Structure 1
Amino acid sequence: MMLPAALSVVRYTGDEMRARLDDLARLRIAVFRAWPYLYEGAMDYERHYLLRYARARTGTIVVALDDGRPVGAATALALDEEADYVQAPFRAAGLDIAKIFYFGESVLLPRYRGRGIGVRFFAEREAAARGFGYGICCFCAVQRPEDHPLKPKDYVPLDAFWTHRGYARRPDLVSTFTWRDIGEREESAKPMVYWMKDLRGAKGQA
């Protein structure tokens, strides 16, 4: 799908990421306030979080720009450069984390959705994975209770989109992330279920 002329998608690494940290931090906070993440973000944390990608050997951020202004971003790096709690379920399952490329998240302002940017985010991160020599990709998504009081009645999960991209849900692989929901005084634990794709052809295998 072709993007409108004013929109572009670029891949940043290293110093290019550092120059965009504040813009990307604000973008993450804005998008993740919505369901299903309900994230009460803070700029200091976001800068620190994004700086990890800028410093990582395989750190990658794909950014969607509208006339030069960031309106979406997607992050990625090798799983063996991620935090222990992200690696833990793969180690427990006997999977080789040195072969897996991890997609951190995708965020996109609502008015830019449905224009093919999400597809490009996956394509660019998969290209980065191949460029660094990885044949397997994964990401995780929060699992909220079906009866959560803040769940919008018209909410449509992205499972079909991810499946169409070739990713398979792995309910046997679950990490616990913690953050403060909107309205919470303290951080609380959330289960994050992984999805995987084998770029060499066999879905969800490692």
Structure 2
Amino acid sequence: MLKIQSVSGEALKDCIPALAALRIRVFREFPYLYDGDLAYEEEYLNTYVQAPDSVIVLVFDGDEVVGASTAIPMANETIEFKQPFIDAGYNPDGIYYCGESVLLPQYRGLGVGVAFFEQREAHAAKLGGFTHSCFCAVERPEDHPRRPADYEPLDRFWQKRGYHKTPELATTYSWKDLDEAEQSAKPMTFWMKAL
């Protein structure tokens, strides 16, 4: 039986090692193809521990963390994520940023993805003061050599959750792909929803 639990602040500290390992494992898949390392992951995830209004929705199968979804006020994010909104006239203080969702393949299709969005948006509503929720997704070309033949983008799923793609809100973020010697900038496009 899966258990889904929202965790914030200092309570997140105990979850960071398991979450870091999970992110590395899941993000190796297309479209992210992320060649991650635990030290970077733990530092990145510490942002969520430090930000008082962040949340991570964790999925447990018994004692094992098998999925997680992060969210944080945009004001606590890096300039790469804030600047497109500032340039477009949005106030980052009014935006709740849904970071990423990772879930092991055998647990997909069971409604966990819907719960991820519901719980993050509920957390934003409980905090108050947020006009929009957003997330961003990497853009990969249709003919990418590592694109699986059966790859199905999540666009329809996100649209059903009320999000719309906003190509005018775009940024780049750097990481090392599995076949890269060094990090390179990847194009990212934001999806938004009014709360």
SS in 2 for 1:41: coil
Specify which of 53, 59, 62 is matched with residue 54 of structure 2.
59
Specify which of 191, 197, 200 is matched with residue 187 of structure 2.
191
Specify which of 79, 99, 106 is matched with residue 101 of structure 2.
106
Residue 44 (structure 1) aligns with: 39
Measured after TM superposition, the shift of residue 135 of structure 1 is 3.0
Q: TM-score, normalised by structure 2?
A: 0.98
Where do 1:31-180 residues align within 5 Å? 31-133=26-128, 134-180=130-176
SS in 2 for 1:173: strand
CA contact (8 A) 1:73 1:107 kept: yes
Count of aligned pairs: 194
Measured after TM superposition, the shift of residue 39 of structure 1 is 0.1
Q: Which amino acid aligns with 1:195?
A: W
Where does the alignment leave 5 or more consecutive residues of structure 1 unmatched?
Answer: 1-5, 200-206
Residue 204 (structure 1) aligns with: none
Q: Which amino acid aligns with 1:141?
A: A
Measured after TM superposition, the shift of residue 175 of structure 1 is 1.0
Specify which of 10, 15, 24 is matched with residue 20 of structure 1.
15
Where does the alignment leave 5 or more consecutive residues of structure 2 unmatched?
Answer: none
Equivalent-residue separation in structure 1 for 2:63 and 2:133 (angstroms): 29
CA contact (8 A) 1:129 1:135 kept: no
Equivalent-residue separation in structure 1 for 2:184 and 2:175 (angstroms): 6
User: 1:148-182 CA deviation, whole Å, 9 max, x = no partner?
Assistant: 11001110000000000000100000011000000
Measured after TM superposition, the shift of residue 68 of structure 1 is 2.0
CA contact (8 A) 1:135 1:198 kept: yes
Equivalent-residue separation in structure 2 for 1:49 and 1:86 (angstroms): 14
CA contact (8 A) 2:8 2:52 kept: no
User: 1:67-92 CA deviation, whole Å, 9 max, x = no partner?
Assistant: 12100000001001100111010011
